């Protein structure tokens, strides 16, 4: 009967939810060991100055290779790590390793690191940044931390105080995924940003989608008026790049230029042999 069928569906959802919860707990349990068991690594994606075509820096993106499950996306495990507080440990590992790496480069490129709201709100975060800069010898102006607006709305005054302390060290601050989430133009006035990163959802088909084009042009206008350089995320096609060049966007990042890769792939750039990605022999569409 329909009633039995209804019960069956209910049972199904109950089981599904149970499985999801179990999954999350397992993930949380395993994440506790990820740092000490050396299961985390970083991949790096180039950031390019559109006018000159030169690589100006890299964004570090964390990867977790689970012993049984293989590579787990940060989109999946970062939220779990945030809920359990583990993000503090993972975030410190990311910050230290990315700064150590960048300090070794002969070419003084910038290094961008994603900082979760939980990290930004931890009272010891600015001191940790200071300590890691000292420890690695990285010039503060080569470090850029990326924060999303979610990080700002939770506790505005704490976020502002943390960002001010970090900026006082000489570190740069970029607003990540601009235009999504809790976007509010007043954030641009209240917080001391050095760069706007336009979310990749607006860059996708910007050359053919009139709405995306209008939004990207408006953000570029804002950037110009506020004296904030704009970086376009997720550039995948040459047509998107040509649109951005015409609209006078300063910099870009995306699969078109290079996938996030282990840093050895970009050796020629970090060593200063070249700043041009075209000269690098790698398969741009595959991550390794």
In 165-223, beta strands by DSSP E: 172-178, 195-198
CA 188 to chain centre: 19
Q: Is 146 in the site for Mg ion (CB under 5 A)?
A: yes
Q: Is 200 in the site for ligand C2E (CB under 6 A)?
A: yes
Which tokens go with 81?
């790590």
**Could you give the CA distance from residue 171 to residue 133 in angstroms, rounded to a whole number?**
10
In the chain, beta strands by DSSP E: 40-49, 55-66, 70-72, 110-114, 143-147, 172-178, 195-198, 230-232, 251-252
Instruction: Select from Mg ion, ligand C2E, none the partner in contact with residue 62, using the beta carbon and a kind-dependent cut-off of 5 to 8 Å.
Output: ligand C2E
Q: Is 271 in the site for ligand C2E (CB under 6 A)?
A: no
Instruction: Select from ligand C2E, Mg ion, none the partner in contact with residue 116, using the beta carbon and a kind-dependent cut-off of 5 to 8 Å.
Output: ligand C2E
Select the residue whose beta carbon is closest to ligand C2E and give its number: 254
Cβ neighbours around 28 below 10 Å, total: 15
Q: In this chain, which of 30, 77, 254, 266 binds ligand C2E, going by CB under 6 A?
A: 254
Q: Is 61 in the site for ligand C2E (CB under 6 A)?
A: yes
Q: Is 277 in the site for ligand C2E (CB under 6 A)?
A: no
**Could you give the CA distance from residue 113 to residue 89 in angstroms, rounded to a whole number?**
15
Label residue 73 left, alpha or beta by phi (over 0 means left) and psi (-120 to 50 means alpha): beta
Nearest to 198 by CA among 150, 244, 256, 156: 244
Q: Is 251 in the site for Mg ion (CB under 5 A)?
A: no
Q: Is 196 in the site for ligand C2E (CB under 6 A)?
A: no
Which residue lies nearer to Mg ion by CB, 30 or 110?
110
Nearest to 117 by CA among 165, 95, 85, 93: 85
Q: In this chain, which of 92, 149, 177, 240 binds Mg ion, going by CB under 5 A?
A: 177
Q: In this chain, which of 102, 234, 252, 263 binds ligand C2E, going by CB under 6 A?
A: 234
Q: In this chain, which of 260, 263, 275, 277 binds ligand C2E, going by CB under 6 A?
A: 260
Residue-wise DSSP of 88-135: HHHHHHHHHHHHHHHHH-SS--EEEEE--HHHHHSTTHHHHHHHHHHH
Query: Interacting stretch for ligand C2E, rule CB under 6 A, among 13-21, 156-164, 223-231, 253-261?
Result: 253-261
Q: In this chain, which of 136, 177, 241, 244 binds ligand C2E, going by CB under 6 A?
A: 177
Instruction: Select from ligand C2E, Mg ion, none the partner in contact with residue 57, using the beta carbon and a kind-dependent cut-off of 5 to 8 Å.
Output: none
Task: Return the biggest CA–CA distance within the chain.
Answer: 73
Rounded to a whole number of angstroms, the minimum distance from the CB of residue 146 to ligand C2E is 6
* Residues binding Mg ion (CB under 5 A): 114, 146, 176-177, 233
* Residues binding ligand C2E (CB under 6 A): 45, 61-62, 73-75, 78, 91, 94, 114, 116, 146, 176-177, 200, 234-236, 254-255, 260
């Amino acid at each position: 009967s329909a009633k039995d069928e209804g019960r069956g569906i209910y049972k199904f959802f109950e089981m599904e939810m149970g499985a999801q919860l179990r999954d999350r707990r397992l993930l949380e349990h395993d994440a506790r060991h990820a740092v000490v068991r050396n299961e985390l690594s970083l991949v790096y994606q180039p950031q390019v100055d559109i006018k000159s075509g030169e690589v100006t820096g890299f964004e570090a993106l964390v990867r977790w290779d689970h012993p049984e499950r293989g590579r787990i996306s940060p989109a999946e495990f970062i939220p779990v790590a945030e809920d359990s507080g583990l993000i503090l440990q993972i975030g410190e590992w990311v910050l230290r390793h990315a700064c150590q790496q960048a300090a070794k480069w002969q070419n003084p490129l910038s290094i961008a690191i994603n900082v979760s709201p939980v990290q930004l709100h931890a009272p010891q975060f600015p001191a940790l940044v200071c300590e890691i800069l000292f420890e690695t010898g990285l010039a503060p102006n080569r470090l850029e931390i990326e924060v999303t607006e979610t990080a700002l709305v939770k506790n505005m005054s704490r976020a502002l105080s943390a960002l001010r302390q970090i900026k006082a060290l000489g570190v740069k601050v970029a607003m990540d995924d601009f235009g999504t989430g809790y976007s509010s133009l007043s954030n641009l006035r209240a917080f001391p940003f050095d760069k706007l990163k336009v979310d990749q959802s607006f860059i996708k088909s910007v050359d053919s989608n009139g709405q995306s084009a209008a939004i990207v042009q408006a953000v570029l206008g804002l950037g110009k008026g506020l004296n904030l350089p704009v970086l376009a995320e997720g550039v995948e096609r040459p047509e998107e790049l040509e649109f951005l060049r015409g609209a006078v966007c300063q910099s870009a990042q995306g699969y078109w230029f290079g996938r996030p890769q282990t840093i050895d792939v970009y050796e020629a750039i970090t060593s200063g042999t070249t700043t041009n990605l075209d000269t690098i022999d790698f398969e741009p569409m595959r991550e390794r």
